[in-house]
Amino acid sequence: MKSEALKRRPKILVIGDLMLDHYLWGACERISPEAPVQVVNVNKETTVLGGAGNVVNNLEALGSEVFVLSVIGDDEAGKELLEHLAKAGVDCEDFVYENDRKTSKKSRIIAGHQQIVRYDNESKHPITLESETALIVNMKKIIASMDVVILSDYGKGVLTESVTPKLIEVAKKAHKPVLVDPKGSDYSKYAHATMITPNKKEASESSGLVLDSLEQIEKAGFLLKEKLHLQTALITLSEDGIAIFDKSMRIHPTVAQEVFDVTGAGDTVIASLAFALARGENIDDAVIFAN
Positions marked active-site: 267
CA distance 250 to 144: 32
DSSP H helices, the chain, are 2-6, 52-62, 76-87, 129-142, 163-173, 200-207, 214-228, 265-278, 283-290
CA-wise closest residue to 22 among 103, 112, 87: 103
C-beta separation of 175 from 148 below 8 A: no
**What CA–CA distance (Å, rounded) separates 164 from 179?**
12
Sheet holding 249-252, edge to edge: 65-69, 11-16, 148-152, 178-181, 195-196, 232-236, 242-245, 249-252
**Residues 277, 274: Cα–Cα separation, whole Å:** 5
